[in-house]
Every structure is written in C-alpha cells, then in structure tokens.
Amino acid sequence: MNCKRIAFVFMALTLFVTSIAAAAPAANNAPTLSVDGEGTGIAAPDRATVTIGVTSQAADAGKAQSSNALTTEQVNKAIKALGIEAKDIQTNNYSFRPNYRTSDNRRHEISGYTVNNSIIVIVRDINKTGKVIDAALNAGANEIHSLDFAASNTQAIRKEALTKAVQDARDKADILAQGLGKRIIGIKNVSESTGYLESRRYDNAMLAASKTAAATTIEPGILSLTARVHIDYILEN
C-alpha cells in the first residue's frame, strides 16, 4: 500500500470517528419519554398440594399413638389406591403432647394425650384433587389444613406477561409522543420487574366430613403472573 492510499484511509477513519463523536452528544441530549408498562400472564393450574391431618386422643399414651398410626396408615393406603405414588406422599408434621386438666386444683394432672400426624400429598392429576380429599376423610383423617394450586411450567406465562408489559409501554409512549408532536426514534434504557407465579392457597380449606357426605368438588380456577417494565424512549429533536 502506497503512502497516498494510507493517508486516504487514515483521513476516512478520522472523519468516521469524528462523526461518531459528534453524534454522541446529540443522542445524549435528545429528549426522552419515560413510561411504565404492565402485563399479566395467566395459566390453568396443573398440580395440587393437599395437607391432610390425623388427630387422635386417648387417655393412654400408647393407645393415642397406636390409634393415630393405624388411621394414618389407612389414609395413606386410600390415597395410594387412587394412583398417587409414594414419592408424592410425605410427613409434614408429627406431634405428641399430654393434655392437662383445666380445673384449678388439678391443673397439673394429665387427662390424656393428643397425637397429630400431618401429611402432604402432591396431586399431579388435578382432576383427582377432590377424590384425594374424600378418600382421606373417609379413611379417618379429620383435618384438611391447606389446599394449594400451582402450575409447573411458568416460562410461557412469564413470556406472555413481559410481552404484554412491553406492548403496554409502547402503546402509551406512542400516544404521548403523538400528543407532543414527536416521533420515537430509539430506546435509551429498559428495566423490568417480574413477579412469580404464586400458588393459590386455602388455609383450613376443608373441615372434617362424614363418610356419607357428597363428593367434594374442587375448582382450581386460574393463576396469574404480573410483569412491569420501565422504558425510556428517545424522541426526535
């Protein structure tokens, strides 16, 4: 490469760099329009978690314990008979405590014993949720502590929420820019805040039911996730 060609390339690069440097302050000084957008993604629950309790009382400690163990075993068998796998049944809490008399002169005397065994059951076929509750109660369980609904795949719901949030922000920006007589020419900054698809929880969802009660009907409903974005748009001068 001869000297003249080298000099030409150098001059071209110098002009290019100079033009970029000149454009940078202009871009930095361009007016901006800041807007917030919000979007919601929804999903039908595909999994339920039921916390079931068996509480037994007896005057004798051994009888209270053995009665509770027998009933809990019957509850587990009834739930497994519905096709729930053993890995989806686990002990959540176990307690054994004495009961004391309430009269003033016998307050420190033990009147009996209470045993509580709580198990968590994950129902992967959500249509079986009511059947699991009925089977547990009919087998001797006398408490349903909570019922949770959740969705296993949250990626698509999160994407839906973010897409709607961005579109919401753009719609607002277009209206504002048009009202100002400006045109959006770029984006300066974007930030987002997306929550989690939280399960729907019902504490003390059910009370003890008799064996002759009607079948329990469970409606899982819809779960939602909300995403929020903040976008700074660049306007033309």
pLDDT tens digits, residue range 56-70? 999 999 999 999 999
Q: Are residues 105 and 139 in the same domain?
A: yes
Q: Are residues 137 and 192 in the same domain?
A: no
Residue written as tokens 């071209």? Answer: 12
Tell me the mean pLDDT in the region 215-231: 87
One DSSP character per residue, 142-174 reads -EEEEEEEE-S--HHHHHHHHHHHHHHHHHHHH
Does residue 9 sit within a domain? Answer: no
One DSSP character per residue, the chain reads --HHHHHHHHHHHHHHHHHHHHHHHHHHTS-EEEEEEEEEEEE---EEEEEEEEEEEESSHHHHHHHHHHHHHHHHHHHHTTT--GGGEEEEEEEEEEEE--SGGGTTSEEEEEEEEEEEEEESSGGGHHHHHHHHHHTT--EEEEEEEE-S--HHHHHHHHHHHHHHHHHHHHHHHHHHT--EEEEEEEEEEE---PPEEEEEEE----TTSPPPP-----EEEEEEEEEEEEEP-
179, burial (CB in 10 Å: exposed 0-12, middle 13-18, buried 19+): exposed
Lowest-pLDDT choice from 16-25, 30-39, 101-110: 16-25
Q: Are residues 102 and 163 in the same domain?
A: no
pLDDT at 18 over 70: no
Tens digit of each residue's pLDDT (9 = 90 or more) over 101-128: 887 777 788 899 999 999 999 999 999 9
The pLDDT value recorded for residue 203 is 60
Which of 20 and 185 is assigned the larger pLDDT?
185
Q: Which residues are CB-contacts of 94 (< 8 A; sequence separation ≥ 6)?
A: 115, 116, 117, 118
Lowest-pLDDT choice from 35-39, 94-98, 143-147, 217-221: 217-221
The pLDDT value recorded for residue 176 is 96
Q: Which domain holds residue 164?
A: 28-44+153-198+224-237
Q: Find the CATH number of the domain harbouring 40.
A: 3.30.110.170
Output the average pLDDT for the chain: 84
Residue written as tokens 């089977």? Answer: 135
Last residue of a domain, one of 150, 184, 212: 150
Does residue 19 sit within a domain? Answer: no
Tens digit of each residue's pLDDT (9 = 90 or more) over 132-154: 999 999 999 999 999 999 888 88
The pLDDT value recorded for residue 200 is 63
The pLDDT value recorded for residue 2 is 54
Residue written as tokens 């974007």? Answer: 190
Q: Does the predicted model carry a pTM greater than 0.75?
A: no
Q: Are residues 233 and 160 in the same domain?
A: yes
Q: Are residues 98 and 159 in the same domain?
A: no
Which of 208 and 36 is assigned the larger pLDDT?
36
